[in-house]
A and B are shown apart, each in its own frame.
Chain A
């Protein structure tokens, strides 16, 4: 009998324990996120001095978060790989201003090839058609995608989850009405919806947030609604009701926390979709605007100047970068799902 090897195993910490984080962690997340958002969204309004150090606190926060993530997701290599990819880009995003990179908008040596040494600068990844350093542009490029992508997803979730809870818990005509609106929105192919909305609002980061909200919120609403319907029939909800709790309280404190797991998984996937969307839209000229570096933009600009083998790196670099980020999100989602299924 092999009872020996069992004793040294400890019961795995359940998934939700890991997801359900102490407030300190939330603090860290904010510490990472708020500066980054400030820097990217409101950069123009910040004074240069402020701009120069606003991101400093975010760097240790990011590293800390990464360490926590890796340690707590130990037993899911998939999740760890995902986290590593995502956090790599997060790290680059928050530390870009402090990395030894030249100004990503500075035209130096057009079409300098990979590893070329021109204008006393090494172009490790070459330069684009304006002679701007690809490496620098590629690294800086992740900032906007990350910030806009994540904020868009967040907003979409806030809206979607709220209506989902409403529809799922109150049901009745609330459900009817909300579902109808969602059906209308869901009957558009996403890209069509994006094109229409952005074409109407005009291309800009904030409008992308709006567009993404319109496109994703219905789907999210459906998910949350489903989860709510499922949870709603649980005894602890009855318990709360028989305690005479206010519906809003029940929704937010009793229902929502238990929909957490699936929502987080879905959110990761959705982050991927949003990233794709933003890059694609920018490529189509409906998204973020030049001159600041952005992967979609780099692709867009390169497609008309780099259509030969010799210059193809201009296309490949941003394409691979964005893919790696999305891969990160997807793996993360997979890992989390895997873990949530285990316990």
Chain B
């Protein structure tokens, strides 16, 4: 404790982080994010490190400030796949959450600056050991029914997620996982059934909720903006589309899967009283999502049918550039993972894998596909945008080395391998693989690119020995690693199993000290990189385009729509 930090920054982790900041081991942005996570107000954090804080709506609402010129009214038209709205806790696509986000809101909200701020909560604090989290629920938040939002509502939602019957993916979130314990019961396949440990959720008073974790959790607020954690009313019964009660400024108007989803402003509560929204001014009368599959969204925009769209692929960039509109490119950890199954010949031989990896020049591939945009991957699945990313020395392409390795592995006459490509995010997968093909050729590796329809690929993505899988953005490096590379986890498509790696990952996750954590994670990264499980050339930006007459649009790395302060001219 070198010097006294202003109130709000009492948390030891924050204080410690500040020291790292001073020592230059932590960037200002990372410090701000961390501080905000641990309960300090984002604004003060910005101030503390002397960065200009992004302006907020008055009353420190987690939205952009109101624009004096703003005109109310109008319909914002968006091109996106319109999907069904069943149970928010089991949403499987971001598109679904976008359709619901202006009705069902979240405890916290992560802004475009990747800093998480309170939303339905007013503030929160974490115990020094990060095991106890206290959320102060915002007062005066009104349901469409007219009731006021209380801590009980939130508790009810969390319980719902934890209930196996709900089958919500949220149990995978550390904030929920931390509340669970082995009930001792087992399901038919012998997997233990997890349940809420009693007293894990404590409703202190009407506006205070306390969570008691059985392990330290750093990212609780961040988790609570994960798209399936939308807060629903207690009366909720699936499907959501039948009776959409939330706390947001909009509710469901017209709705037809595969056709359109029109959100209308809520003015009256269900019992006929005036509905006043906690989040201040909202300008739009309606938000209309029109169903266009990803290929046609841009042409819909081109023909002026819509103001904006969910996203478009890099192939369409030139088309987009030729259109009147502002292109938003958000930096993400979305990527393609050309991974090899380590238990499948010839990839059982580490030298073969290494040869393949060495023969590829990730940067060239990335530049060919995305030009200046996006980040070069380092074959360990952790992206520079991840807060816990531990930098490693940049990769070098080594054709000779590759050849030698192949020779040692008994492939001096060259190696024949086939990679399955599903173009699940667009043809650029194929482009990348074709680029890799050309580079590998120089090392005597003959790569056959086997293209198949996306749906077909998703049937085999975790079975094919060599496949090009698209992984979406996840906020933490530890998160992706434990999802994809821990021994025996369901999504471990490479069948990678390395105790050393698991151990390194555990340690990284257990470390609270941010800088230390980066260092620890770097160890895991290195192990994975050296084991040459994958070629991951690209972390791609996501593109969207917005018409000139849309004001106040902010792109979001995870393509979450948040249109409260958007207004049309």
- Do the two chains touch directly in the complex (Cβ atoms below 8 Å apart)? yes
Interface residues of A (CB under 8 A from B): 105, 107, 110-111, 129-130, 202-203, 285, 289-291, 301, 303-308, 310-311
A291 touches B453 (CB 8 A): no
Alpha-carbon distance A301/B319, docked complex (angstroms):
13
CB distance from B458 to the nearest CB of A (A): 14
A308 touches B316 (CB 8 A): no
CB distance from B268 to the nearest CB of A (A): 42
A203 cross-chain contacts in B, Cβ below 8 A: 453
* Other-chain contact of A307, B319, B430, B451, B452 (Cβ < 8 Å): B319
Interface of A is mostly: loop
A130 touches B315 (CB 8 A): yes
Interface residues of B (CB under 8 A from A): 295-296, 298-299, 302-303, 315-316, 318-319, 322-323, 368, 427, 430-431, 434-435, 449, 451-453, 456
Alpha-carbon distance A130/B323, docked complex (angstroms):
19
CB distance from A166 to the nearest CB of B (A): 38
- Top-7 shortest CB links A-B: A304-B295, A307-B299, A111-B318, A129-B315, A290-B451, A305-B319, A305-B316
Interface of B is mostly: helix
Closest to B456 in A: A202
A308 touches B427 (CB 8 A): no
A290 cross-chain contacts in B, Cβ below 8 A: 427, 430, 451
19 contacts between A and B (CB under 8 A): A105-B434, A129-B318, A129-B319, A130-B431, A202-B456, A285-B453, A289-B451, A290-B430, A291-B430, A291-B449, A303-B295, A304-B295, A304-B298, A305-B319, A307-B298, A307-B299, A308-B302, A308-B323, A311-B318
B456 cross-chain contacts in A, Cβ below 8 A: 202
How many A-B pairs have beta carbons closer than 8 Å: the answer is 57
* Other-chain contact of A305, B303, B315, B430 (Cβ < 8 Å): B315
A303 cross-chain contacts in B, Cβ below 8 A: 295-296, 299
Alpha-carbon distance A290/B449, docked complex (angstroms):
10
A105 cross-chain contacts in B, Cβ below 8 A: 434
A311 cross-chain contacts in B, Cβ below 8 A: 318-319, 322
A304 cross-chain contacts in B, Cβ below 8 A: 295-296, 298-299, 315-316
Closest to B452 in A: A289
Alpha-carbon distance A289/B427, docked complex (angstroms):
12
B431 cross-chain contacts in A, Cβ below 8 A: 107, 130
A307 touches B302 (CB 8 A): yes
Extra A-B contacts (7), CB below 8 Å, given A304-B299, A304-B315, A308-B319:
A105-B434, A301-B427, A304-B298, A305-B298, A305-B315, A307-B319, A308-B322
A107 touches B434 (CB 8 A): yes
Closest to A110 in B: B318
Alpha-carbon distance A141/B115, docked complex (angstroms):
51
A110 cross-chain contacts in B, Cβ below 8 A: 315, 318
CB distance from A118 to the nearest CB of B (A): 13
B315 touches A291 (CB 8 A): no
B298 cross-chain contacts in A, Cβ below 8 A: 304-305, 307
Alpha-carbon distance A203/B456, docked complex (angstroms):
11
Alpha-carbon distance A202/B459, docked complex (angstroms):
13
Alpha-carbon distance A301/B452, docked complex (angstroms):
15
CB distance from B264 to the nearest CB of A (A): 31
A285 cross-chain contacts in B, Cβ below 8 A: 453
A130 cross-chain contacts in B, Cβ below 8 A: 315, 427, 431
A301 cross-chain contacts in B, Cβ below 8 A: 427
B368 cross-chain contacts in A, Cβ below 8 A: 107
B316 cross-chain contacts in A, Cβ below 8 A: 129, 304-305
Closest to A202 in B: B456
Alpha-carbon distance A285/B298, docked complex (angstroms):
19
Alpha-carbon distance A291/B434, docked complex (angstroms):
9
B296 cross-chain contacts in A, Cβ below 8 A: 303-304
CB distance from B386 to the nearest CB of A (A): 30
Alpha-carbon distance A305/B314, docked complex (angstroms):
10
Alpha-carbon distance A311/B368, docked complex (angstroms):
21
A307 cross-chain contacts in B, Cβ below 8 A: 298-299, 302-303, 319
CB distance from A2 to the nearest CB of B (A): 66
Alpha-carbon distance A272/B401, docked complex (angstroms):
54
Q: Which of A291, A305, A311 has the most CB of B within 10 A?
A: A305
A308 cross-chain contacts in B, Cβ below 8 A: 302, 319, 322-323
Alpha-carbon distance A110/B315, docked complex (angstroms):
9
A107 cross-chain contacts in B, Cβ below 8 A: 368, 431, 434-435
B452 cross-chain contacts in A, Cβ below 8 A: 289
Alpha-carbon distance A311/B323, docked complex (angstroms):
12
A310 cross-chain contacts in B, Cβ below 8 A: 322
